[in-house]
Amino acid sequence: MASERQSSLPGLTQFEQRFGSQLRLHLTLVVALFVLSLPIIFALLMSTQPAFRIVQTSLVGVGADGLSNYVEALTVHNFDTYLINSFVMALAIGIGKVGISLLAAMALVYYSLPFKRLILLLILFTLALPVPVRIVPMYELMVAGNDWQLVFDTSFYRLAFDPKFVNTRPGLILPYMASATSILLLRQHFKSISDSLVEQAKLDGVGPIRFLLSVVVPMSKSMIAGLFAIAFIWGWNQYLWPLLIINDQRTKGVIQPGLAQLSPQAGKPLWGVIMAGAVMTLVVPLVLMIILRNPMLKTISMQQK
């Protein structure tokens, strides 16, 4: 640039100074990120080591055990089932949340509807109701079906919330289906789509569902991908609710409570296996984040608005 000042350091041209400061930045950042990644690096190294080595010495290097800890976690400690169950759960939550939110946003933007503000407020308010706040009644809802008549004697509720939801995928997944964040972001996005498009569609006799699928969805691809990634990662990482609702951890369990249950028993240190389990637990959402990083980052930082 022509307007730049003379170099303030004697003997250095603007280019050299700039290059030097960028190099310093790179070094500082690499060191900072290395420190931030240390727990993961240790986990990766420990997951390859035979048990005795980790206990006897804290020297860290790649161990001789290679992948055997991973095999043990998968075959002996049920991680094969956990991975599949968690994948199904996260996928269902990702698709379900985005799908349901698309429909709701469609209704909120393209229809004239009374009480719109009230509906929006009620959706917005759910942000203040995270799982831990609802955990006791939600558990009751799913588990105490037999005693339900004691508290709410209508056949609708008995029909809808039968105790058979305990230990099942619907019981695990359904409570996560509503998403205030997705609805609000999609609504915002739909509103930015030009009015003339919907007018034109209506003149052409295009129905609402076709309009949604062939006009709105293609125009919202990036946001849909971002919301899916957020919901999938959120679903994959759930801990407390699966811990409560699933009794049959062996066949129905998901990965986060499964990992927490993998603890070293007396006399048989499992550190290598535990770390292998941790690596498998974190790698799926991490890979998804890396693949969908651009739409995901864009969508996350829109949440602030």
Partner 1 sequence: MEAYQKKWQAVGLLVPTIVAVGAFFYWPLVRALQLSRQKTIGFGARSTEYGWQHFTTLATNPDFQYSVGASFAYAGIVVSISMVLGLLVSLLIYRMETYQSFYLVAAIFTYALSFAVTATLWKTLFNPSVGIFTETLRGVLGLVGISLNLDYTTNPLWAWVFVASGGVWKLIGYNIIFMVAALGNIPETINETMRLDGLGWVKKLLFVYVPMISPTLAFLAIVNTANSFFLTYPIIEVLQGGPSNTVNILIYDIYATFSDGLIGRASAKSIVLFVIVGGLTGIQLWISDKFAHYGGA
Where in 39-78 is the site for partner 1 (CB under 8 A)? 39-40, 42-43, 46, 54-55, 58, 60
Q: Interaction with partner 1 in 157-176: which residues (CB under 8 A)? A: 160-161, 174-175
Torsion of CA 37, 43, 44, 49, to 10 degrees: 150
Nearer to partner 1 among residue 60 and residue 67 (C-beta): 60
Q: Is residue 227 part of the contact set for partner 1 (CB under 8 A)?
A: no
Instruction: Evaluate whether 190 touches 101 at the Cβ level (below 8 Å).
Output: no
Q: Is residue 204 part of the contact set for partner 1 (CB under 8 A)?
A: no
Q: Is residue 233 part of the contact set for partner 1 (CB under 8 A)?
A: yes
Amino acid at 95: I
**Among the listed residues 102, 61, 53, 81, the one whose alpha carbon sits nearest the alpha carbon of residue 215:** 102
Nearer to partner 1 among residue 87 and residue 271 (C-beta): 271
Q: Is residue 271 part of the contact set for partner 1 (CB under 8 A)?
A: yes
Q: Is residue 213 part of the contact set for partner 1 (CB under 8 A)?
A: no
Structure token pair of residue 208: 């609402």
Nearer to partner 1 among residue 63 and residue 277 (C-beta): 277
Residue appearing with tokens 């048990």: 51
- The single residue among 73, 90, 224, 259 that binds partner 1, judged by CB under 8 A, is 259
> CB burial class (10 A; 0-12, 13-18, 19+) of residue 277?
buried
Q: Kindly determine how many residues on this chain lie close enough to bind partner 1 according to the rule CB under 8 A.
A: 103
Q: Is residue 26 part of the contact set for partner 1 (CB under 8 A)?
A: yes
Structure token pair of residue 109: 């933007």
Instruction: Evaluate whether 187 touches 105 at the Cβ level (below 8 Å).
Output: yes
Q: How far apart are CA 122 and CA 183, in angstroms?
A: 12
Which region, judged by CB under 8 A, interacts with partner 1, from 61-69, 73-81, 87-95, 292-300? Answer: 292-300
Structure token pair of residue 143: 């588990």
Phi/psi for 12 (5° steps) reads -115, 130
Instruction: Evaluate whether 255 touches 83 at the Cβ level (below 8 Å).
Output: yes
Q: How far apart are CA 114 and CA 302, in angstroms?
A: 28
Nearer to partner 1 among residue 92 and residue 275 (C-beta): 275
- The single residue among 62, 84, 217, 286 that binds partner 1, judged by CB under 8 A, is 286
Q: Is residue 138 part of the contact set for partner 1 (CB under 8 A)?
A: yes
Q: Is residue 291 part of the contact set for partner 1 (CB under 8 A)?
A: no
Q: Is residue 123 part of the contact set for partner 1 (CB under 8 A)?
A: yes
Q: Is residue 22 part of the contact set for partner 1 (CB under 8 A)?
A: yes
CB of 48 vs partner 1, minimal distance in Å: 14
